[in-house]
Amino acid sequence: MTWVKLCGLTSLGEVAMCASAGADALGFVVEYPAEVPWNLTLGEARELVAAVPAGVERVMVAGDDAGLVLAHAEALRPDAVQLHADEAPATTQELARELKAMGVGVIKALRFSVETGEVLTGHDSPPDPVDAARRLTQLGVEHLLVDSVSRTHVAGTGQPVDFSMARRIRDEVPAPVILAGGLRPDNVGAAIRAVAPHGVDVISGVEARRRVKDPAKVAAFIEAARGIA
């Protein structure tokens, strides 16, 4: 069964609603180093993470500053940290090592430009997506999140990635792949059939408006994702 993560939660009501809808994991964007609608302060994140019921994974989304990421992970003790910025290889490796020592899982976003299709994993990324993904696993990353990015949106672009490319990564790289980017209730089933990922991740595709999740869309997304054999 496909693992489902709902990301960018910003209120206690959303935490309760998304958990009761059957999400496997909830994502919280904590002091991300760019302006995004879902950004939380550490204090806000602490309250929301504490409200996640047992059995639902808690994922902290952050990036770039290793010291800040580790300090926030120490404070929140999430199940996993999703590195979603342009971390240098040395930073990714340091964070993977330190987070694992804390008992925290490591997810790294492998982002693709919607304008050019190029992979943007950080400094000096190999041009071939499979090589870039393989390099991240060699740095200690446990899960790869394949996502889209644009000149105006570092997340929540509403644009899907190339499914054939995502499938290549899934088939050729020894790490579970989480598919993100432009997923919605009406296309997540086709995306899962095309890529066969370990999991899917959605943020803007289940919103009523920016920063506010729509209960009907959340339920429809999970139902569609779980309806794939």
Residues 6+ apart with CB under 8 A from 101: none
Please list the alpha-helical segments (H only) found in the chain. Answer: 12-20, 42-50, 66-76, 89-101, 129-138, 163-172, 188-195, 215-226
Stated pTM of the model: 0.93
The tens place of each residue's pLDDT in the chain, 229 residues long, gives 999 999 999 999 999 999 999 999 999 999 998 889 999 999 999 999 999 999 999 999 998 899 999 999 999 999 999 999 989 999 999 999 999 999 999 999 998 875 555 666 555 666 789 999 999 999 999 999 999 875 555 565 567 888 999 999 999 999 999 999 999 999 999 999 999 999 999 999 999 998 999 999 999 999 999 987 5
Domains held by the chain: number: 1
Range of the domain at 193: 3-226
What the block records as the tokens of 214 is: 């729509």
In contact, 78 and 49? CB cutoff 8 Å: yes
Give the CATH number, domain containing residue 204: 3.20.20.70
The H-assigned helical ranges of 102-155 are: 129-138
The tokens of 49 are what? 């993470």
- Is residue 87 within 8 A of residue 63, CB to CB? The reply is yes
